[in-house]
Structure 1
Amino acid sequence: MLTDQSAHVYADLPLTLAEAGTGRPVLVLHGGGGRATVAGLADRLSATARTLTPVHPGWDGTPRPDWLTGIDDLALAYLHLLHDRGLDDVLVVGSSLGGWIGAEMAVRDTAGLISGLVLIDAVGVHVPSEPITDFFALDARGVAEHSWHDPDRFHVDAADVPADELTRRQGNMATMRLLAADPYMHDPKLLRRLARVRQPALLVWGASDRVVTPAYGAAYAAAFHRGRLEVVPGAGHLPQLEQPDATFALIETHLRRTSAHAVSDAP
């Protein structure tokens, strides 16, 4: 279970942060759905690693300073968090929007704090042949159809969502729209920069994802100097929820292989 503490990267940027476990540090970054979408994964990782799982400012009712208006702001803030805590040999694990933040962190990591990446159905790059689905244009049923391998299991009609949960979701979407909607869900400069990232990058993709397809994931992986794509059957945009065991096994293996003491220049 995640237990929150408060941290400050800058005087006007309080972070809600959960930390658990011991061992190699792992920064776990959630996507647009909020930290609940990665809480189970962070809990499992904390059995063998030191996990840090923040709530992005503006999500789940947390404060967001007016100047924080882009994914690059989050990437730099989390790099500064790692630096302030004296952490290195960090594995960054990011889901969807969190994967985009992780990729932006890696291209800015001039101090070499990060030694591995896991991007789970990440957005963040522009692949002309595989456009990112306009998530904001979908109704609840459309979101389910695009996001899940088994949409009937996960679809919930908005009328059946409690008022406080609906408010949380609407707030999360408003923050995501502010930070990531222009240009839509990507940094037009990021794809070409990924070849400069020397850390091994594992891209984990749900085979049934229709928000960002496995072909989009393949192009993303190919852009890294040492990128590798693993497709998870029976899963959509959040394989850590639909196929948690298969997803965790891939991440755990990458965690072991990418320690700074084990990294070589092999793919």
Structure 2
Amino acid sequence: MTITIRPEDVPVRGAGAHTFLLLHGGAGPGSMAGFADLLAERTGSRVLLPTHPGFGGTPRPDAPATTRDLAAAYAELLDRLGLSGVTVVGNSFGGWLAAELALLGGPRVGRAVIVDGIGAEVPGHPMTSVAGLDPAGLRRLSFHDERKAPRPPAGGGPGPDIAALVGYAGPAMSDPTLLERLAAVTVPVHVIWGESDGIVGVEYGKAYAGAMPHATFTVLPETGHLPQLETPGELLDAIRSPVR
């Protein structure tokens, strides 16, 4: 199906010749907001910080949509903005989206950064199921140091964002074809992983990186599933490092 993301609905941080597109995961756009500010300030770049349709109280697509459908919508957004050579940075579900955008190719994406991405099926290293976990259990899986976790929203429990995530990613939150398809990626990719990620471990990350011909793999120590919240400075340094 076709999803439209209007340029006027996408918040922008900073300004500069280079553009970053930040793609959030199930933790929602707020999990990327502070890092967007840091990235814009430290790199002197323009940073796009969209909210996936259906997240953050935004309208959901009126028909079933997949991760690939959403990636195509972001490709169309970049085309409508007349952008090329964009660095796409995605965390968790956003990492899966970044991989799909890299697969779409074209001049729009110059580089992809996958941060603790999901979406792959790695034999022997499955993604940890988070179904039914309370906020405390999810924090334990997501952070090396739970004290760095943001305060949970009032009321707690699953919200509309979970429904939106499952709507795109499916109940298994994976695509059995993804690793095989990633062999066709031609742009440079940097796969960055938190050493203490309890949702998708380091070996899962290595398989993600190993599926692509031009990928570099970096492990961040004392970091869980959400480096942009737990160790943002280290994540920024890794993003700015040259891809080999």
Alpha-carbon contact 2:116-2:200 (below 8 Å) kept: yes
SS at match of 2:94: helix
What one-letter code is carried by the residue in structure 2 that aligns with 1:193? R
Give TM-score, length-normalised by structure 1: 0.83
Q: Following the alignment from structure 1 to structure 2, what is the Cα–Cα distance between the partners of residues 27 and 78?
A: 9
Q: Deviations for 1:160-179, whole angstroms, at most 9, x for unmatched residues?
A: x424xx48x61111111222
Q: Following the alignment from structure 1 to structure 2, what is the Cα–Cα distance between the partners of residues 162 and 125?
A: 32
**How many Å apart are 1:68 and its aligned residue?**
4.8
Alpha-carbon contact 2:119-2:174 (below 8 Å) kept: yes
Q: When you count strand as a share of all residues, which structure comes out higher?
A: 1
Aligned residue runs from structure 1 range 133-144, under 5 A: 133-144=128-139
Q: Deviations for 1:62-117, whole angstroms, at most 9, x for unmatched residues?
A: 011212521111100000000111100111000110010010111122x2311111
Alpha-carbon contact 2:148-2:230 (below 8 Å) kept: no
**Match 1:200 to one of 162, 185, 188:** 188
Aligned to 2:114: 119
What one-letter code is carried by the residue in structure 2 that aligns with 1:37? S
Q: Which runs of 5+ in 1 are unaligned?
A: 1-8, 258-266
SS at match of 1:67: coil
Q: Is residue 61 of structure 2 the alignment partner of residue 65 of structure 1? A: yes
Q: Deviations for 1:183-212, whole angstroms, at most 9, x for unmatched residues?
A: x11111111111211111111111100100
Alpha-carbon contact 1:90-1:115 (below 8 Å) kept: yes
Aligned to 1:263: none
CA 1:155–1:56 in 2, change beyond 3 Å: closer, same or farther? closer
Q: Higher Cα Rg: structure 1 or 2?
A: 1
Q: Which runs of 5+ in 2 are unaligned?
A: none
Aligned to 2:213: 225
What one-letter code is carried by the residue in structure 2 that aligns with 1:238? L
Runs of 4+ that moved beyond 3 A: 13-16
Q: Is residue 227 of structure 2 the alignment partner of residue 239 of structure 1? A: yes
Aligned residue runs from structure 1 range 1-267, under 5 A: 10=4, 14=6, 16-20=9-13, 21-47=15-41, 48-109=44-105, 111-154=106-149, 161-163=153-155, 166=156, 170-182=159-171, 184-254=172-242, 267=244
Q: Following the alignment from structure 1 to structure 2, what is the Cα–Cα distance between the partners of residues 104 and 62?
A: 22
Q: Deviations for 1:91-150, whole angstroms, at most 9, x for unmatched residues?
A: 1000110010010111122x2311111111000111011101112232222211111101
Q: How many residues align structurally? A: 238
Q: Deviations for 1:34-57, whole angstroms, at most 9, x for unmatched residues?
A: 111111221122232111110000
Between the aligned residues of both structures, percent identity stands at 38
SS at match of 1:54: coil
Q: Following the alignment from structure 2 to structure 1, what is the Cα–Cα distance between the partners of residues 229 and 116?
A: 12
Q: Following the alignment from structure 2 to structure 1, what is the Cα–Cα distance between the partners of residues 148 and 241?
A: 29
**How many Å apart are 1:152 and its aligned residue?**
5.0
Alpha-carbon contact 2:23-2:49 (below 8 Å) kept: yes
